[in-house]
Amino acid sequence: MDLHSGLPYWVIKNSLLDYFHPLKDDFSTDIVVIGTGITGALMVHELCNAGLKCCVIDKRSIATGSSAASTALLQYEIDVPLCRMAEMIGEDNAVTAYRACLQSISDIEKVLESTGVEAGFERVPSLFYASTQKDVKLVKEEYEMRKKHHLPVSLLGKEEIKERYKLQVPGCGLLNEESAQIDAYRAATGLLLYHIKKDGLEVFTHTGVKECVEKRGGYVVETDGGYKIKCKYVIVAAGFEAGKFLPREIMDLTSTYALVSHPVDPGELWPEHCLIWETADPYLYIRTTGGNRIIVGGEDEEFCEPERRDALLRKKIRILEKKFRKLFPDIPFKTEMAWCGTFSTTKDGLPFIGTWPGKKRMFFDLGYGGNGITFSMIGAQIICKKLQGLEDERSKVFGYERIEKYGS
């Protein structure tokens, strides 16, 4: 699958990692992780820290799947508002999901701190505004629900938003001070290189997994080069291509668009460089980068065929530019590069983490949705605990038991 095209900013900013280490012999280990994106990298970090024996395998260069295209906003707020999610899965479960995402941002920060991986992690506030007058009611309802559960949030009026962020919006908005932004490509490559060095981790790149054959006590992972890896457990962190390993498709794949601007004079950016997103569906979202550039994304389409997706890139970028200029008419804004990618969301906004019913030795760590990266952290913790015989109370909220109701 062609996961992205155009020019994803991060690969150009960091330059592509020249790491070439295909599997050239049969191999044996306890756990095979499929995928070197941010999900696989965080997974391996947890496994190595717990002293579990593992290796990682990827058909591409390290982290050049969706993680290289990610705009990487880290928010505790999920695509489905808490008040709506509570109606779908119950208030307790919805609050557990929101709290898990809040904790996940701090956990990602700790992982980067403890490994010394410099991945542009930056704490910034996040503003979620009502796109229309009609959505003001939803924003207020969401505010009450989050307040009730002591989640960090404040309600700002239209004038307050204009004064504080120089941003002209139709109605009110919710602000929280607990969000962050990151460079997901750098985080994934940095973490894997750290564990290669520290733990002798084997990362087999340019090696596709053809099939995982279940055997007594584990799996034999068969590669496209004809080699086999014998293991006790497989963890699928294959992102939007994980469908190949699932008994049936669980996601409708979609397309999404993003651009990065020329650097802007820091004084011309909005105060606090908060993340910005809105109630519209699909929503527009905005962040800054360490080099004072602006990233704008959104304009999702409900199909994923790469040719159709790519044909729309130019048109979608014009729309994103127009929307940005409407919000910030005074910021001199010029697009430097743009890209598009495959994306997916679930009906309840939550990822699928755990085992497929009846397949106890194959874990799926699929952090889909606008919070894919925070979900990756949660998935890594839940699965690592499970492998150590420990239960995690969050697993019931993210598990595959929901598949009939919330899968595609």
Q: Which of 125, 171, 190, 341 binds ligand FAD (CB under 6 A)?
A: 341
The residue behind tokens 């479960």 is 93
CA angle 122, 123, 124 (to 5 degrees): 110
Q: Helix, strand, or coil here: 322? A: helix
Q: Which of 66, 189, 261, 289 binds ligand FAD (CB under 6 A)?
A: 66
Output 208 or 407, the one with its CB closest to ligand FAD.
Answer: 208
DSSP string, 367-386: --STTHHHHHHHHHHHHHHH
Q: Which of 65, 120, 282, 354 binds ligand FAD (CB under 6 A)?
A: 65
CA distance 321 to 21: 41
Interactions with ligand FAD, residue window 154-193 (CB under 6 A): 184
Selected range binding ligand FAD among 36-44, 46-54, 101-109, 138-146, rule: CB under 6 A: 36-44
CA distance 108 to 119: 11
Q: What string marks each residue from 120 to 149 as x (binds ligand FAD by CB under 6 A) or -?
A: ------------------------------
CA distance 367 to 378: 9
Output 238 or 274, the one with its CB closest to ligand FAD.
Answer: 238
Of 276, 304, 319, nearest in space to 71 by CA: 276
Q: Is the peptide bond prior to 282 cis by the omega test (within 30 degrees of 0)?
A: yes
Q: Is the CA virtual torsion 238, 239, 240, 246 positive or negative?
A: positive
6 sits near ligand FAD (criterion: CB under 6 A): no
**Least distance to ligand FAD, CB of residue 144, Å:** 26
**Least distance to ligand FAD, CB of residue 163, Å:** 27
**Least distance to ligand FAD, CB of residue 176, Å:** 15
**Least distance to ligand FAD, CB of residue 332, Å:** 24
Output 44 or 327, the one with its CB closest to ligand FAD.
Answer: 44
Structure token pair of residue 224: 């496209």
Going by DSSP bridges, is the β-strand pair 31-34/233-236 parallel, antiparallel, or unpaired? parallel
**Least distance to ligand FAD, CB of residue 23, Å:** 10
CA distance 236 to 123: 30
Of 290, 388, 298, 394, nearest in space to 338 by CA: 298
Output 3 or 151, the one with its CB closest to ligand FAD.
Answer: 3
Output 2 or 177, the one with its CB closest to ligand FAD.
Answer: 2
**84, 86, 90, 92 alpha-carbon torsion, rounded to 10°:** 160
Selected range binding ligand FAD among 15-23, 34-42, 82-90, 313-321, rule: CB under 6 A: 34-42
Binding site for ligand FAD (CB under 6 A): 3, 34-40, 57-60, 64-67, 69-73, 184, 208-209, 237-239, 241, 244, 256, 258, 297, 341, 343, 367, 370-374, 376
